[in-house]
């Protein structure tokens, strides 16, 4: 592309952004947006993205998302155009303030502080960067909304990145950004982030499911038309102005259902939902209209009694309002119908940006749902020393929680995540109430601290002055706020023992003329099987363990940091002869930018399997370089892998199965109708006809139905697929799926 063609493309993209803004409902500040564009274009002049295109196209694309998909105005569009200027060029925040004022400068400054993604290279930096992100949210929510748009465009253009970077960014997106988009009410963005992450982590599976969706389109449309025609006729008689459409489940959510329910694509029946969006000029009539539509639909179709969701009377914490019901469709499958007003739909699509627009006078900023949530998040931010992994996991509890609504004895409404207990409720009210809580009364009935609450419960918390926080309480807490407050209380109680333990280690090392380095403390933690330094100090301080039997070995190359050695693979057995004084040859460094080829079995195996998952050749996997310099291989669906991708992106390897010289264990779940002799047919087919070794077999029958869990040794996923297909041909077998 010539320079003239590039300039024409940039101008065309900017004019498209401008036209979309002019067509919106915002006050027209075109001159300021044009100035921001010219300023950013000059600042990024000559710079290109990894794909080779001019860099300025990225800020324009982010500004388009901010304007059209989130619905923000001129201030946010300008900040989006300028969001990389301070980080990537010689211009400062003061320059931005001089040209565009303090409001835009403050947003650009907030975006600069959290640049480079949420996560840095070191654990403490990750936690700190994430704190910055959440703190800037409380100052101006537009910072995180623009950051969300930036991440969405980066995901849309992820194809130009190296495979290991794709894993890192996709994992980080799925772990943090998608839940954050969900919490902010940005449902279309959350769905697209999930789908794009899935596409890069599991490209073959993504393509397969997308293909199956396309194949079933005509049949699906036919069923939807049969289902919706009577409803449309009924709504027309009511004289409503409305829009009705089928909302298809995303590829990622279909795959998740297939994975969690162990069902094939053909058995995912709720592939789509019907959405009815009606126009209503009077907000006070919205609720009544929703229930009128509900009544019309239930006159036509049979209602599922347990799947009605009223988020109009009690909106979700992110502002979402709608009435959901599930009815039996003409094909005998359940179909969900979502009923919303035009106002509710805009809030559902654009989140809090639209929520402000429709805000009813009298509701103070301090009590908006977002600020209530941000106050909860600040409890986590106030925790002085979380480990990065704990910090992110605790936060994720709050980000992606399904919700219930409970009441205090005075009728005050409190939103909690599903699975919350009486103790969660106590800590939500106040940390001192949580610390002193002994039991609860739910609907006037006495219950223990661990009692799980249900929506609509009336909850009274009972306290005692003599009560003290217990470590075992952590096992049944569901809210991030409660876990953070309990850990802080336990630390206060345990602090004298921790200090005593710290002193014991300091004295022990001082006597041996050594320092408490990271390497020494890490080895001690491994020796005593504890996960944190505080746990080590605490157990020593309490006298649970002793250093008497511990032998301190002098560290070799102690001046070199552990991190410098992380990218080196462990020594092979044949590198030096036993007893030889000759040093082993230095192992080659692992290039994280190249695909790492996995050799299975034999002397040249170049990876290890951790305890958390056991993938087999053919599975989508990734490599992780652990602290010992070994390559761990994790399935991409492994929960531990999600954390590693989000937290240690610089140690992630893109991998490919190469030389395979061993068998792998796989677990198969078989179900069907029980009959005499079915077990012998199963075992004969697997061991005799297919020549597959059976390592475990557990079969149980309940009246006419049986379930069999089978452990077999196979070469790869192809052998598993073939086994499942052949087993399903046995009379009576209804399903056969791999479960691990």
Q: How many CA atoms lie within 13 A of 682 on its CB side?
A: 29
Tokens at residue 474, please? Answer: 């952590």
Closest CA to 617 of 644, 655, 654, 643: 655
Cα(426)–Cα(416) distance, rounded to whole angstroms? Answer: 11
C-alpha distances out from residue 723 to 123, 244, 692, 718, 719, Å: 43, 44, 9, 9, 6
> Which distant-in-sequence residues (6+ apart) come within 8 Å of 606 by Cβ?
569, 596, 598, 599, 631
Instruction: Determine the distance from the C-alpha atom of residue 222 to the mean position of all C-alpha atoms in its chain, rounded to a whole number.
Output: 35
DSSP string of 278-326, one letter each residue: E--S-GGGHHHHHHHHHHHHHHHS-B-TT--EETTTS--TT----EEEE
Q: From the candidates 6, 13, 53, 88, which is the catalytic residue?
A: 88
C-alpha distances out from residue 412 to 405, 407, 442, 456, Å: 10, 5, 14, 11
Tokens at residue 246, please? Answer: 């089928």
Query: Is the separation of the CB atoms in 342 and 280 below 8 Å?
Result: yes
Give the three-state DSSP class for 720. helix
Give yes or no: 87 in active site: yes
Tokens at residue 418, please? Answer: 């599903």
Tokens at residue 386, please? Answer: 């979380």
> Which distant-in-sequence residues (6+ apart) come within 8 Å of 501 by Cβ?
536, 537, 538, 539, 540, 541, 542
Pairing state between β 334-341 and 272-278: parallel
Query: Is the separation of the CB atoms in 509 and 516 below 8 Å?
Result: yes
Beta-carbon count within 10 A of 221 CB: 12
Tokens at residue 87, please? Answer: 């980080």
Helix 422-429 and helix 480-511: axis angle, to 10°?
A: 90
Cα(711)–Cα(698) distance, rounded to whole angstroms? Answer: 9
Q: From the candidates 16, 87, 499, 721, which is the catalytic residue?
A: 87
Can you tell me which residue has the tokens 């876990």?
483
Cα(101)–Cα(635) distance, rounded to whole angstroms? Answer: 49
Give the three-state DSSP class for 6. helix
Give yes or no: 31 in active site: no
> Which distant-in-sequence residues (6+ apart) come within 8 Å of 690 by Cβ?
722, 723, 726
Tokens at residue 178, please? Answer: 């998608």
- The residues annotated as belonging to the active site are 87-88
């Amino acid at each position: 592309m010539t320079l003239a063609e590039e300039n024409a493309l940039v101008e065309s993209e900017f004019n498209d952004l401008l036209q979309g803004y002019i067509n919106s409902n915002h006050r027209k500040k075109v001159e300021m947006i044009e100035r921001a564009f010219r300023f950013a274009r000059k600042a990024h002049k000559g710079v290109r993205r990894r794909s080779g295109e001019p860099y300025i196209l990225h800020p324009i694309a982010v500004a388009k998302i901010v304007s059209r998909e989130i619905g923000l105005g001129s201030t946010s569009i300008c900040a989006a155009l300028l969001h990389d200027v301070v980080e990537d060029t010689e211009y400062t925040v003061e320059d931005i303030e001089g040209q565009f004022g303090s409001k835009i400068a403050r947003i650009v400054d907030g975006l600069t502080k959290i640049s480079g993604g949420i996560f840095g290279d070191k654990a403490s930096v990750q936690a700190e960067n994430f704190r910055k992100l959440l703190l800037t949210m409380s100052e101006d929510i537009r910072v995180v909304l623009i950051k969300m748009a930036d991440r969405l465009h980066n995901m849309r253009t992820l194809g130009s990145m190296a495979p290991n970077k794709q894993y890192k960014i996709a994992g980080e997106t799925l772990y943090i950004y998608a839940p954050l988009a969900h919490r902010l009410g940005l449902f279309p963005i959350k769905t697209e982030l999930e789908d794009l992450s899935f596409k890069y982590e599991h490209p073959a599976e993504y393509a397969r499911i997308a293909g199956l969706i396309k194949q079933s389109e005509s049949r699906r449309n036919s069923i939807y038309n049969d289902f919706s025609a009577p409803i449309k006729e009924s709504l027309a008689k009511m004289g409503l102005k409305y829009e009705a459409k089928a909302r298809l489940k995303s590829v990622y959510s279909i795959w998740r259902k297939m994975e969690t329910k162990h069902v094939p694509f053909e058995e995912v029946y709720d592939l789509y939902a019907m959405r009815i969006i009606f126009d209503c000029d009077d907000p006070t009539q919205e609720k009544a209209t929703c229930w009128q539509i509900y009544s019309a639909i239930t006159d036509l179709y049979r209602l599922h009694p347990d799947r009605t969701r009223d988020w109009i009377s009690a909106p979700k914490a992110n502002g979402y309002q709608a009435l959901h019901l599930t009815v039996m469709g003409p094909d005998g499958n359940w179909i969900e119908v979502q009923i919303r007003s035009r106002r509710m739909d805009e809030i559902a699509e654009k989140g809090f940006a639209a929520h402000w627009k429709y805000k009813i006078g009298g509701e103070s900023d301090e009590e908006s749902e977002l600020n209530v949530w941000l106050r909860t998040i600040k409890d986590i931010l106030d925790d002085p020393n979380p480990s990065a992994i704990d910090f992110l996991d605790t936060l994720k509890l709050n980000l992606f929680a399904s919700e219930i609504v409970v009441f205090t004895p005075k009728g005050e409404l409190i939103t909690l995540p599903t699975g919350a207990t009486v103790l969660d409720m106590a800590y939500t009210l106040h940390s001192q109430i949580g610390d002193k809580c002994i039991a609860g009364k739910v609907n006037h009935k006495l219950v223990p601290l661990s009692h799980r609450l249900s929506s609509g419960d009336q909850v009274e918390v009972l306290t005692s002055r003599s009560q003290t926080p217990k470590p075992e309480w952590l096992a049944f807490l569901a809210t991030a706020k409660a876990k953070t407050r309990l850990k802080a209380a336990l630390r206060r109680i345990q602090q004298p023992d921790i200090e005593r333990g710290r002193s014991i280690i300091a004295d022990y090392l001082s006597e041996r003329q050594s320092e408490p380095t990271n390497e020494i403390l890490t080895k001690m933690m491994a020796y005593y099987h504890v996960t944190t330094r505080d746990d080590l100090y605490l157990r020593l301080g309490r006298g649970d363990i002793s250093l008497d039997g511990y032998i301190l070995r002098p560290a070799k190359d102690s001046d070199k940091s552990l991190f410098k050695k992380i990218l080196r693979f462990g020594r092979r057995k044949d590198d030096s002869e036993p007893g030889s004084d000759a040093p082993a040859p230095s192992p080659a460094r692992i290039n994280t930018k190249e695909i790492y080829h996995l050799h299975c079995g034999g002397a040249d195996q170049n990876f290890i399997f951790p305890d958390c998952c056991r993938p087999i050749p053919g599975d989508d996997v990734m490599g992780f370089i652990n602290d010992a310099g070994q390559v761990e291989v994790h399935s991409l669906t492994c929960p531990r892998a999600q954390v590693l991708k989000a937290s240690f992106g610089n140690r992630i390897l893109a991998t490919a199965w190469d030389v395979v010289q061993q068998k792998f264990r796989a677990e198969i779940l078989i179900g069907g109708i029980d009959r005499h002799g079915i077990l012998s047919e199963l075992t004969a087919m697997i061991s005799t006809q297919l020549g597959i070794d059976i390592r475990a077999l557990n079969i149980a029958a309940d009246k006419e139905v049986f379930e069999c869990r089978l452990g077999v040794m196979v070469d790869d996923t192809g052998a598993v697929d073939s086994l499942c297909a052949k087993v399903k041909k046995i009379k009576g077998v209804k399903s056969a799926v791999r479960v691990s």
